[in-house]
Amino acid sequence: MIWFTEYWTENVGLTVKANEVKRIKSKYQEILILETPEFGRMLVLDGLIQTTERDEFIYHEMLVHPAMLAHPDPKRVLIIGGGDGGSVREALKHPSVEEVHLCEIDEEVIIASEKYFPSIAGKLRDPKVKIFIADGNAFLEEKKDYYDIIILDSSDPVGASEVLFTKEFYSKVKASLRKDGVMVAQTESPMIQEEYFKKAISEIRKVFRNFGVYLAFIPTYPSGMWSFTIASEYIDVINTKRMEKVKELKTKYFCDSIYACLFTVPKFVEDIIKKS
Ligand code: SPD
């Protein structure tokens, strides 16, 4: 066994005991799969924990369901990033969905996820799913006015993912959405990555008329406090809730009491949002 540490900053990190299952050098990054006693299998990209068998449901349910429920009839869904398949699995829980496009830049992430994380990646070959191995930024150029929902299931805004947190990119997302389309993005930790969080919010609000920020507790992400931002040009995302649909979803974290007060955030987070 080894001790693996993800460094959250220069001064703090998360350390887990683990067995190394596989290490792959892809064209884009180092993909590391660990077996840990507490969190089960863990997927690590360039030293940063992306998902674990134990707590992935929190992230994927919270990323996907609020956006899906904000739309009156989501049929066409695009997921950018998300090669592990967790967001695909959650999107397919909505019966109105006709197609899910997954745009992942690194095919090796998909291959490794199907092999080592079947409980997460198990729906990637569903007939409604079409996988595109492409750069999300370039992919959006091809699809204008098409999607009902776009889910940005990205890694942190460093390296190739940095562009996914810019005004220019969010404008492309808006152009690829239909009129009443909804976007949702993972927007980092307001506790330990305040600058990333602020930047994402300030860029999103320059592009979309309506937006809302919500949080979830994800034990293996920096500080545990994680944010998501939902946005739409025409849908009032904060006040549009379809409570009656929550019970139809098989979930373990997302539930009607969390949904009812989804946009309740601590005062310091509210203050950061106001200043962004
Ligand atoms: N600090 C890690 C943030 C990763 C967010 N995306 C994870 C992708 C899981 N589908």
At residue 160, does pLDDT exceed 90?
no
CA 62 to centroid of ligand 1, rounded, Å: 12
- pLDDT band for 110, please (50, 70, 90 cuts): very high
What CA–CA distance (Å, rounded) separates 134 from 116? Answer: 22
Strands 40-45 and 30-36 come out as antiparallel
Kindly state whether residues 96 and 216 are assigned to the same domain. yes
Encode pLDDT of 161-194 as tens digits. Answer: 899 999 999 999 999 999 999 999 999 999 999 9
- Domain span at 17: 2-50
Encode pLDDT of 24-73 as tens digits. Answer: 999 999 999 999 999 999 999 999 999 999 999 999 999 999 999 999 99
Given a contact cutoff of 8 angstroms between Cβ atoms, the answer to whether 87 and 63 are in contact is: yes
For residue 11, what is the domain's CATH number? 2.30.140.10
For 32, the enclosing helix (H) or strand (E) is: strand 30-36
Encode pLDDT of 209-244 as tens digits. Answer: 999 999 999 999 999 999 999 999 999 999 999 999
**Domain count for the chain:** 2
Kindly state whether residues 46 and 156 are assigned to the same domain. no
CA 172 to centroid of ligand 1, rounded, Å: 21
Kindly state whether residues 45 and 62 are assigned to the same domain. no
Q: Is 227 in the pocket of ligand 1 (CB under 6 A)?
A: no
Q: Which of 12, 14, 42, 59 to mutate to test the pocket of ligand 1 (most atoms within 8 A of CB)?
A: 59
- Give the global pTM: 0.97
- pLDDT band for 159, please (50, 70, 90 cuts): confident
